[in-house]
């Protein structure tokens, strides 16, 4: 089975990471899946390569390139056509596929999270784009606290690792040079440039209170996947983007979440609605089971 994960996201490392959550879930399942990622150009393609996952990166394209009369010459269409997937998984950015989705001979899976409903109907200079759920074999929402304006199935949030796949506390602390008595805090921001520095203005007091703070920014190397070292930390301070938020909730970490504005999501709403949400099964495993059942 050839599975192609497509994302058009640009704001941080989370878009590529969501593809890697499915890679790990396929590996856990034991299914014979040839998995690859297709994304717009991003500095985070190196994460896929570190996981041994092929990634093709293409330039961002708009309606000028992707419209009904022009899409065959687009980098996106050519990349999908050449990869010949059996299953195409699209993460949020359905509209880039709209002109040719129905003609693709593969199974199609739309994967979304909390998102502004206006994302599913809007105008371009040439036409109105409307999401058509009937064009998809699966429509999955992977976050509690919101719904979609059309039929969909709910799965738990997707996280990169299961609990038994990360380093034990002693090994994680030793790897980071932390002593057993250290009060350790992970300060991790992997979104847009400058967000971590802005958040630090509110949390620099932690060092004054005796915390050993490990700061991580994926733009500057950082810990990836940071989840692997979570057992080393007594406290996590991070952004409220999908991946970081749900990794901390899945591992039941004491955490402070800092919301930042995004085009499609409301991070403050995520904090307000979901900070007490608990789940046992990784939603990535649920998604893979549904794909294998197609």
Q: With a cut of 70, say whether residue 72 has pLDDT above it.
A: yes
* Residue 10 pLDDT grade (very low, low, confident, very high; cuts 50, 70, 90): low
Q: With a cut of 70, say whether residue 128 has pLDDT above it.
A: yes
* Residue 12 pLDDT grade (very low, low, confident, very high; cuts 50, 70, 90): low
* Residue 11 pLDDT grade (very low, low, confident, very high; cuts 50, 70, 90): low
CA distance from start to end of the chain: 11
Domain residue limits, the chain? 2-157+282-292, 163-274
| Domain 163-274 is found in CATH 3.40.50 | yes
Within this chain, domains 2-157+282-292 and 163-274 share the same CATH topology: yes
Which residues sit opposite 258 in a β-bridge? 239
Q: With a cut of 80, say whether residue 142 has pLDDT above it.
A: yes
Cα dihedral 71→73→77→79 (10° resolution): -170
Range list of β-strands (E), the chain: 2-7, 34-40, 55-58, 87-91, 107-112, 121-123, 128-130, 138-141, 153-154, 184-188, 212-216, 235-239, 255-258
Compute the average pLDDT of residues 157-162.
98
Q: With a cut of 80, say whether residue 9 has pLDDT above it.
A: no
Q: For residue range 260-272, what is the model confidence (pLDDT) as tens digits?
A: 998 888 999 999 9
Which residues lie closer than 8 Å to 201 by C-beta, 6 or more apart? Answer: none
Q: With a cut of 80, say whether residue 56 has pLDDT above it.
A: yes
Q: With a cut of 70, say whether residue 47 has pLDDT above it.
A: yes
CATH number of 2-157+282-292: 3.40.50.2000
Q: For residue range 189-236, what is the model confidence (pLDDT) as tens digits?
A: 977 888 999 999 999 999 999 999 999 987 777 899 999 999 999 999
């Amino acid at each position: 089975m050839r599975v192609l994960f497509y994302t058009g996201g640009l704001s941080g490392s989370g878009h590529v990471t969501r593809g890697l959550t499915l890679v790990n879930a396929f590996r856990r399942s034991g299914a014979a899946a040839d998995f690859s990622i297709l994304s717009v150009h991003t500095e985070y393609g190196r994460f896929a390569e570190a996981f041994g996952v092929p990634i093709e990166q293409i330039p961002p394209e708009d309606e000028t390139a992707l419209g009904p009369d022009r899409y065959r010459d687009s980098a996106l269409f050519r990349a999908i056509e050449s990869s010949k997937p059996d299953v195409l998984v699209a993460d949020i950015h359905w509209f880039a596929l709209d002109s040719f989705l129905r003609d693709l001979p593969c199974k199609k899976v739309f994967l979304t999270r909390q998102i502004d409903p206006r994302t599913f109907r809007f105008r371009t200079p040439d036409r109105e784009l409307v999401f058509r759920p009937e064009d998809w074999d699966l429509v999955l929402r992977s976050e509690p606290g919101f719904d979609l304006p059309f039929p969909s199935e709910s799965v738990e949030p997707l996280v990169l690792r299961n609990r038994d796949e990360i380093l034990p506390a002693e090994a994680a602390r030793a790897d980071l040079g932390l002593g057993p008595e250290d009060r350790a805090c992970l300060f991790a921001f992997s979104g847009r440039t400058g967000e971590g520095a802005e958040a630090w203005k509110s949390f620099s007091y932690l060092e004054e209170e005796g915390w050993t703070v490990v700061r991580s920014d994926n733009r500057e190397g950082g810990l990836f996947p940071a989840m692997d070292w979570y057992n080393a930390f007594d406290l996590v301070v991070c952004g409220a983007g999908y991946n970081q938020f749900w990794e901390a909730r899945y591992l039941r970490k004491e955490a402070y979440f800092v919301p930042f504005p995004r085009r499609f999501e409301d991070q403050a709403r995520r904090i307000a609605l979901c900070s007490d949400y608990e789940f046992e099964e990784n939603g990535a495993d649920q998604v893979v089971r549904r794909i294998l059942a197609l």
